[in-house]
Each structure stands twice: as C-alpha cells, then as structure tokens.
Amino acid sequence: MLPNLIYIEKLYSAFQDDPDSVDPSWRSFFRGMELGESFSKTDTADPILLLIDNYRLNGHRLAKFNPFVSEESCGELNLENFGLSEGHLTQNYPTHGLLAAEEASLSDILKRLNELYAGKIGYENIRGLESLIENEQKSLTPDEQKRVLHELNRAELFEAFLHMKYTGQKRFSLEGGETLIPILAEMLNLGADLGLEEAIIGMAHRGRLNVLTNIMGKSYAAVFAEFLPDYVPQEGDGSGDVKYHKGFNASYKTPSGKELKLLLAANPSHLEAVDPVVEGLVFAKQLDKAKTAVLPILIHGDASVAGQGVVYETMQLSKIDGYATGGTVHIVVNNQIGFTAVPKESRSTRYCTNVAAGFDAPVFHVSAEDPDSCIRAVKLALKIRQEKGLDVFIDLNCYRKYGHNEGDEPSYTQPLLYADIKAREKIRVLYRNQLIQSGVITEKEANGMEANFKSGLEKELASIKELKIGQEFKCSVPEDKPYPETGVSKDLLVQFGQTICQSPDGTHPKLKRILDERLKMLEGAPLDWGMAEMLAYASLLKEGVPVRLSGQDSIRGTFSHRHSAITHQKTEERLFLLNQLGGANFQAYNSPLSEYAVLCFEFGYSLVCQNALTIWEAQFGDFANGAQIAIDQFIATSEQKWRETSPLVLMLPHGYEGQGPEHSSARIERFLQLAANNNMLICNNTTPAQIFHLLRAHLKLQERRPLIIFMPKALLRYPPSLSHIDDLTKGSYQKVIDSAPCSARKLLFCSGKVYYDLTLEIEKRNISDIAIIRIEQLYPFPKNEIKALLANYKDVKQVFWVQEEHQNMGAWTHIHFEMENLGGISYIGRPRSASPAAGFPTLHKRELEALLNEALS
C-alpha cells in the first residue's frame, strides 16, 4: 500500500499547487476530501467560511431559474450544519471579502449569499471563479435593455409572422425560448470587444430559422420562399435539405462598429452530431490565430445534451492537444421536454447539463423569462472562456410553445404542462412591460419598434419574386480518366528517407533496427507499406502540403508499421522527423477512444483545410461503424445536400486473416452502397507503391472528394506484396492492375489481399491458364479500363469475381451491377452470412480453402 500512498500524496501536492494539473477525477476526489475534512473540524473551523463555501457549492438548488419547478429545499445549507442558529443572526462575523465591510451580521451575510447564489441565476462548478461572480455588475444599462427588447421583438414577431402566414407548416419555433436571440447577440457584441474575430455556431432544428435570420442575417424573404409549395432551389442550394438544416456564412456588425465572421454549420437531424464538426472547423481556423479569436458556440436541447453520447465524446476533446479549441460556450435551450418525454424519462441526473461536472465546466442556470439575468450569464460565460479557456454552459430554462413541431398536439401526453404554457404571457411582452414600468422606454416607443419590424417583414414577403434563382443541382458524372503523374525523383526520395529514418539518441533498439531496414529500402531492398506511406508524406510536406493524421494509436500505428514519431526511451519525448524536412507541418495525434466525435472533428477540420492531407485512421476498419452517423450524414452526402466538399481521407484496416468478426471487415459493402454522384473515392490497394501514388495524387485532383482507403494488415510486411523504390519514381496510381497472360481460359477479377491468396495457390498448383485482374479503385468504377482489358482476353470463356468477404458483403453487389453491361460476371467467395467473419481459425482456413478450390478448379 505504501507506494500507492506516496503516489496519492504527490498528486495531492500537485493539486494544492494547481488543481488543473491533475486529472478531473482526482480533482473531484481531493475537493470532496477537503470539504469532508472541513465538516469534521466544524468546532474549530470558521463556520462562516464553511457557510460561504457551501452556498457556492449548493446555492443553485435554491435559485429561482425554472418557472415550472416549485421552490426546493437544501438541507446542506441549514445553519445547524455549521454550528449556527437563528439566535446568531444578529451577531457579527468576518465576511471573508463577501461584503465590503470586514465584519457583518449573520443576517446580512445570509442575505448577500442568497442574492448571489440562491437568486435568479444558479451557479455550478465555479471553484476558482468566485471572485468573478461576486464582483459582477448586476444590472444592465438602459441602452443594453433596449437592445435586448429589440432582439426579443425580432425573435418573437418573426415566429408569429411565420405562424400566421404559413399555418401548420413545420418550422420548429423558438417561441418560449426566444431569449436565445438576445443571448447570441450579446455574446457576439461583447466577444468583439474581447478579441473575438470569428464565431462558428452548431445547433439542431429548434429555433434555427430564427438564428438564420436574426443573427446570421439571412434575408427573411429567402426563408419565406422556402415555405412555398412551388419553391425552386436558390443559388447555392445543393440537391436540397429541409430549411432548418442548412448552414450559412455571414458577416456580423456589432453596435460598436466591429465586424465578425459567422458560420452556422449545416447539420443533419441527428441531434448533437454537429458538435464535433464545429470543434474541427474552429480548430482549423485557429491554426494561424489565437484561440481567443475564434469561438465555438454549441446550442443544445435538454433531452439531447443529456442523452446523446457524442456530447461527452466532444467534451473529452476539449483539453487534448490537437483537438482543444480554448473553450466552447454551450447554450442549452431547455424546453423541459424531449418530443413527448419528460425529464425523468430522459435522464438520471438533476440537471440536463450534468455532463459539464466531469470536466469542471461552469454551468449558469437561468430563466428565459428573465432576460437581464440571461445577459449577465452571457457576460460571465464569455469572460471565463476568453480568460480561462474553459467550456461554459448556459442552461436556458424555457418552454416550447407548440408541440415538437407546429402540427403536433402536445397535450396528448403533457396536458398539465401545456395548460400552464397556454396561460403564460409572452416573454417579449413581459420584458416590454417591465421596461415601460421602469421608465426605460415609453409605450409609444415600444409600439413603434414593433410596428416598424412588422412592416419590414411584409416588405420582405413582397420581395420574394425578386430572389435570384439558381440552377437545380446536377449530379456529377464520374470522369474515367487516368490519375496525374505522381512519381518523385530517386535522389529526393533518398534525401527524404535519410532524414526520416535517423536513429537519434534514445531510440528503442527494435525501432532502430526497423529504421535501419528502411534505409536499406532506399538502396533497393523490398519497400514495405509503412515506408511508402512515410515517403508519400515527406514528399507532400516538401511540396508545401500540410499533413494531419489522427486516430487511435495512429502515431505508431496499430500494427507497429508506421512509427511517425520516435519516443525517447528515458524522457518519453516525441520527435517527429518528418518536421525536420523543412517543408509544411506534419501533425499526428493519438485520438481518444472515440470514432464518432473524432471522425466528425476531422471532417470539420478538412472543410477548412482544403489543401491539406487530412487523414482519420480507424484502429481496425471494423470499428468505423462507431462513426456510422458521421459517414452517412456528413462524409457521403454533404456535397449533394449542402455543397460542402471535403478531401478527408479514411484509412480503414481490412482483411480476412482468421482474427474473428471484429477484426476482419471494414464493411466495404456499406461504403459502396453510399457511393453515387461522384461523391467519394473508394480504393482497396495491393502494393505499397499504390498507396504512395494515391496519397500524392489525392490533392492534385481538380475536385475535392473524401477518399476511403481499405488498408492492409497481413500485407504490411508480406514479401510478395512489397514494392521497389523505383516504383515510386515514375508513373501514377493505377485503378486496375492486369498481371496475367493474355491466353487465359478463365479470368478472375478481385480486389485487395485475396489476390495474394490466389497467386500463392496458383504457384503451388502450377496453373498457367488463369488470369487475374485487380480492381484497385472500386468507385468510381473504372469501366473504360476494364472494357479495354477484357478485349485482350478473347479466349476467356469464364469471368468471375473472387472476394474473401461473404457474398452479402464486400464489393460483389457493386461489381455485379457495374459488370452487367460488360458481359456479366459470376461470384466466387464465402457464402452469405450474418456475421462478417469466422471466429475460429480452423473455420476461417476451411472457408479460404473452399473459395480457392472453386476459383482455381
């Protein structure tokens, strides 16, 4: 036990010096330990200090921010817990800086504590931020309040106008939560004064049309047009998406005259899917700017922020090198309902924002019916983000005026809640009356503001016919043309190789042997896949193309084949020799054990860095299904839906080697099913030279497309698959490789590792009349090249497709369809199966023998 105690003592010492220096779980443990220790010493500790600390910790439970929840009690704040009672109310005690006076009565101290921590804002996770909160300016100026009313007018009257003009149509109204608009406006206005130059917003459908018009500046007429039954695409539309999914770029001008760039990221209906995309966009924008210059703003729903695991995955990126964006401001539009599910059905926690606690992210609970408190919370949140680099949550307690959409009937399932909602006055009217009563504005001025805005909406409605109509989206036809020349001179390759294959002091002995072997590859020894990949990166970097590689264990590579960094064996310092070439920057990161959020992050990053080679690598290709939402909703469809192009590369290890159903298949069939309209490139290569040329060619292509590469595992060092350095000095990527005699009677098409299974067996059996053609690029299908090759095989009577995957998997369905007009093709391979691969090595071997016998009989 002694070593463990020494370790804990060291951690606690580090915590006392700097709480952020230890893991969040230890931070929480030590804080709880200190709090418990303070309670055990109540007889000697200062009871007022304990009382103050406990209000800071638990005061939110008494705060009045939820209009639908009656007052709670909080036994932890009873005076008796601190050795105090009502008899002490008139006694004086040290205030510990809580009040201006050094001493005050317990009654005055309690009054101050209740104002601060049990008033209109509930504070959570604020350790270290107390002085900011306790010294905050509590009231808004009259000018600020007028601006808030102006934004509330625009938010609520816009929704009312849509409801009147387009009754019953879906718009996912913001009514009941319209305070979101003044919150966003204040965030941008204040942000510009705090060094902000750009903000990127991610949000789902609720209130999106309001944000598009009243924050982003999209014309009201453009939104009105999308409600028309005969709507035709406007300039910039893709094949289309519903109006409350679309993204928008804008320039935002603040009252002080400063301009901010704004982006509302396009998103699918998968709630919270856009969160890591936004973080990737922001990280890329921050490459040449300070973190404080670009702000990610994520707008959540209460049910989704509590229920969607991608929120936690995204939060986990917040402090990791290579992904951290310097803090995100999260706004939860807390409708207190998720479609028809109430909070007790949606979560196990007190608040929907409890995910924040695991990351020490402050949470400010506010009521949408109290706009002044909401603006105060925004000011604090933004100040904390800009100064401390923390994520901050604003929990906007509000309601949803209608059902999940405007055609839904919410009282089927929540009759009491909706009876309450129907009886409530509009937030805009409540605030308007408050300002009139306090003399900030006259009733005449208020009426004038409303009339002017309504008049403007009518003019916008009348101007729909003037909108510029674009052309409908035309699906592009894949061009079947050769790849560009991508060879690199041998002298340069040797120069690159000698730089990246050094063995500096501290190199692991086994790694030194690997690097020495790579040096021999420069002299003509067989060149493996890892070396080809590294030389491709080196050549691109030297040409000025930045490279970013991210994934689980990607720095070394799952199969110990890459070694993009050398780790010093005594200091554990990493050295990236690729960055000693004097070219563009090489970044490689071992990602968290997440597929969904990390792939979305890299997608967002690639949207900004169009001229960088951005790669996400799965640990095994099988695990890409953990990111299926990212693949389906962003990578495969974003161009056609939103005209967003991404050059992101996915590297997915694939191959049947008897390792079972979880380590064999990257699900080639799924990607081919998603392939259409030239939306991506899908390749399954058989030589290191092919991967070298493909990576180099990717950004030389005119059009930016995602590239899906099924990477090998067993082939990484397999001698028959290796290349020669001369193969990298000339030529280009080959979509199809013909490596057989033209006098064949039987022609086999295949892709990937099974080629080597076939050739090995052909050599064993001394077969000379079977030809094999490898299809390296599965999509777009190289029809012209295959047609030309088929013309060379005039004596062939039988044409087969051979694959190692089961018949209902792999490329078979795709190949069968594409080859129909080229004379047809028959299938050889494993039979249909529910599981992707056999779990027993003996069964795997038996299946392989069977398909080889059928193929070569």
| pLDDT, tens digit, 9 for 90 and up, residues 747-804 | 999 999 999 999 999 999 999 889 999 999 999 999 999 999 999 898 898 999 999 9
With contact defined as beta carbons under 8 Å apart, do 831 and 806 qualify? yes
Name the token pair of 561: 């084949």
Specify the DSSP class assigned to residue 484. P
With contact defined as beta carbons under 8 Å apart, do 210 and 243 qualify? no
Strand ranges (E), 642-721: 649-653, 681-684, 707-711
C-alpha distances (whole Å) from 279 to each of 247, 276, 296, 472, 552 are 15, 5, 7, 31, 18
Specify the DSSP class assigned to residue 252. E
Tokens 């938010």 belong to: 155
With contact defined as beta carbons under 8 Å apart, do 194 and 201 qualify? no
Task: State the pairing for strand pair 681-684/777-779.
Answer: antiparallel
Strand ranges (E), 227-281: 248-253, 259-264
Predicted local distance difference test score (pLDDT) of residue 28: 74
Nearest to 685 by CA among 736, 639, 719: 736
User: Residues of 177-193 as b/e, b for ≥16 C-beta within 10 angstroms?
Assistant: bbbbbbbbbbbbbbbbe
pLDDT in tens, 502-555: 999 999 999 999 999 999 999 999 999 999 999 999 999 999 999 999 999 999
CA contacts within 13 A on the Cβ side of 48: 22
Instruction: Taking the CA atoms of 331, 337, 340 and 345 in sequence, report the sign of the dihedral they define.
Output: positive
CA dihedral 687→693→694→695, nearest 10 degrees, is 110
Count helices and strands in the chain by DSSP H and E runs: 29, 24
Residues paired with residue 547 on neighbouring β-strands, in sequence order: 586, 613
pTM score of the predicted model: 0.93
Predicted local distance difference test score (pLDDT) of residue 44: 47
Interatomic CA distance for residues 279 and 269, integer angstroms = 18
With contact defined as beta carbons under 8 Å apart, do 669 and 811 qualify? yes
Nearest to 333 by CA among 190, 208, 146, 249: 208
Specify the DSSP class assigned to residue 271. T
CA dihedral 201→204→205→208, nearest 10 degrees, is -10
Predicted local distance difference test score (pLDDT) of residue 140: 95
Interatomic CA distance for residues 411 and 701, integer angstroms = 56
With contact defined as beta carbons under 8 Å apart, do 640 and 677 qualify? yes
Grouping H, G, I as helix, E, B as strand and the rest as coil, residue 203 is strand
Backbone φ, ψ for residue 738 (5° rounding): -105, 120
Specify the DSSP class assigned to residue 757. H
C-alpha distances (whole Å) from 521 to each of 490, 513, 717, 794 are 12, 13, 12, 40
Name the token pair of 128: 């270290």
With contact defined as beta carbons under 8 Å apart, do 823 and 749 qualify? no
Q: Under 8 Å CB-to-CB from 123, ≥6 apart: which residues?
A: 56, 59, 60, 63, 117, 133, 362, 363, 364, 365
Mark the ranges of the chain whose per-residue pLDDT is less than 50. Answer: 1-2, 41-44
Hey, what amino acid is at 781? F
Surface-to-core class of residue 2, CB atoms within 10 Å of its CB (0-12 exposed, 13-18 middle, 19+ buried) = exposed
* End-to-end CA gap in the chain: 66
Tokens 């056999």 belong to: 838
Backbone φ/ψ region at 446: left (φ over 0), alpha (ψ -120 to 50), beta: alpha
Predicted local distance difference test score (pLDDT) of residue 25: 74
State the chain's maximal CA–CA distance in angstroms.
108
Name the token pair of 462: 């009348």
Interatomic CA distance for residues 674 and 650, integer angstroms = 15
Helix (H) or strand (E) holding 531: helix 529-542
Cis amide leading into 509 (omega within 30): no
